[in-house]
Amino acid sequence: MHMQMIEIQQEMQLLRQRMNTFAPLADTTPNFALESQGARVKHYLSSDSYWPQEDVGIMWNRIFYWWYSAKAQRHVIQGYSSLKPGKCWSFAGERGHLFISLSHPIFITNVTLGHITKSQCPHGYIASAPREFSIYGMRNTDEEGTFLGQQVYDQDGEAFQTFALPNPDIGVFSHVKLQIENNWGNVDHTCVYSFRVHGKLRT
């Protein structure tokens, strides 16, 4: 009986930690990286989009590539509440980044990263999902950026996972860089379905 109580207490502690990590919920707080609200992806400051070589046809040229890359990157900030397999932005390899101009200058408190779940994937695994990722805040597009924290996307978790940043009052930022450090095992490419930025307006 005593051992069972200890196990229950440990499970409750883990649950509380998880709730603190993945809170607040993505759809219950403002998203300042939402395209329809004025946020924009800076294509020239972001990683190039991935396109398998076997799919490249005679239409593949510099203009078409730029158009495709920009269109794909925009998926990430269009605020979909449900995610569909394949409707994402992907970049080559495990490491890449997306640079976003926020709709308003804010103190950044939380970010939400989205990817389809294992149950939604035909193969039953999501090796191309981001694993470790870092967040940087910028006041303008010329500065290197202020490191705001590093988090881990749980491949066995919910599609949308919200993470609290450790120093939300470090400064007011107009731009954010999402830096994907690695993924869950796909060496060819990494997929990002959704990214949201939450925070407080400067008063």
DSSP letter (8 states) at residue 29: S
128 close to 186: Cβ distance less than 8 angstroms: yes
End-to-end CA distance of the chain: 54
Residue 66 buriedness (CB in 10 A; 0-12 / 13-18 / 19+): middle
Residue 4, sorted as left (phi over 0), alpha (psi -120 to 50) or beta, turns out to be: alpha
> What DSSP line would sit under 136-168, residue for residue?
EEESSTTS--EEEEEEE--TTS-SEEEEE-S-T
pLDDT digits (tens, 9 = 90+) for 61-75: 544 445 456 678 999
pTM of the complete model beyond 0.85 = no
Q: What is the pLDDT of residues 107-119, one digit of tens each?
A: 999 999 999 999 9
The runs of H, that is alpha helices, within the chain are 2-21, 62-74
Residue found by looking up tokens 């972001």 in the block:
46
Domain 2-201 superfamily per CATH: Galactose-binding domain-like (2.60.120.260)
Q: Which residue reads 């954010």 in tokens?
A: 176
pLDDT tens digits in sequence order for the chain, 203 residues long: 556 655 655 565 555 444 444 444 667 899 999 999 999 999 999 999 887 654 444 444 544 445 456 678 999 999 988 999 989 999 999 999 999 999 999 999 999 999 999 999 888 899 999 999 999 999 999 998 999 999 999 999 999 999 999 999 999 999 999 999 999 999 999 999 999 999 999 87
